[in-house]
Amino acid sequence: MKKYIAEGVGTMLLTLVACGVAVTSGVDLVATSLAFGLVIVAAAYSIGNVSGCHINPAVSVSLWVAGKMTTKECIHYIIAQVIGAFVGSLLLALVLGSFDALGANGLVGDTTIWVALVVEVILTFIFTTTILGVTDKKENGHVTGIVIGLTLTLVHLFGLPFTGTSVNPARSLAPALLQGGDALTHVWIFILAPIVGAALAGLFYKTVLKED
């Protein structure tokens, strides 16, 4: 239960703080990217020793496909993460005094559905492959949080001009449902694509990266 509580709290903080920066900064490229990355660094060195600091269903799915989680544990992690994301979005709405803008993802500019799908699959693959690789060796323990946080910053720098960068179904679902309206139109992309990217990363780890 401590693991699930930690995952819920971590995802709540990610959704509250990082999405909050995105909204209040006008989705400033650098500020928003750093916000998501720095929250991961903070969470990794605080709750990481309890739950592993997934705070993202895609991360849990990649670890499950890689054989590092049981099905039951993966499901419980995802439930905790989704609940945490909703709490974070509700707190953000309370702070902002409105449900109009909570950092939901969407197609930016001329981005098409297919481009959004490809971008989200690739970025999630990069992010989750990095997690699987850096956590595979105990000697990386002291830099794991920094590496993962910087990688999340990197994928946001690339993805924000296309989709606002999700790579995290919980972080996308909660704001979209609470905002309603146009935010719900393409939310399926930010659930499906990260799961596909994470599953591909898990398979890549098992077949290529994992040491015999």
Assigned architecture for domain 2-209: Up-down Bundle (1.20)
108-146 pLDDT, tens digit per residue, is 999 999 999 999 999 999 999 999 999 888 887 789 999
SS3 for the chain is CHHHHHHHHHHHHHHHHHHHHHHHCCCCHHHHHHHHHHHHHHHHCCCHHHHCCCCCHHHHHHHHHCCCCCHHHHHHHHHHHHHHHHHHHHHHHHHHCCCCCCCCCCCCCCCCHHHHHHHHHHHHHHHHHHHHHHCCCHHHCCCHHHHHHHHHHHHHHHHHHHHCCCCCHHHHHHHHHHHCHHHHCCCCHHHHHHHHHHHHHHHHHHHHHCCC
What does the alpha-carbon distance between residue 3 and residue 98 come to, in Å, rounded to a whole number? 31
144-158 pLDDT, tens digit per residue, is 999 999 999 999 999
CB-facing half-sphere around the CA of 78: CA atoms within 13 A: 20
What does the alpha-carbon distance between residue 161 and residue 171 come to, in Å, rounded to a whole number? 18
CB-facing half-sphere around the CA of 28: CA atoms within 13 A: 9
147-200 pLDDT, tens digit per residue, is 999 999 999 999 999 999 999 999 999 999 999 988 899 999 999 999 999 999
CA distances from 115 to 2, 47, 108 (A): 39, 35, 11
What does the alpha-carbon distance between residue 21 and residue 27 come to, in Å, rounded to a whole number? 8
Give me the pLDDT at residue 137, please: 81
Q: Where are the domains of the chain?
A: 2-209
Give me the pLDDT at residue 211, please: 77
Asked if 113 contacts 107 with a C-beta cutoff of 8 angstroms, the reply is yes
pLDDT over threshold 70, residue 212 = no
Q: What is the pTM of this model?
A: 0.95
CB-facing half-sphere around the CA of 150: CA atoms within 13 A: 7
What angle, rounded to 10 degrees, do the helices at 29-44 and 144-163 form?
150
What does the alpha-carbon distance between residue 90 and residue 187 come to, in Å, rounded to a whole number? 18
**Tokens representing residue 76 in the block:** 């419980």
Percent of the chain with pLDDT over 90: 90
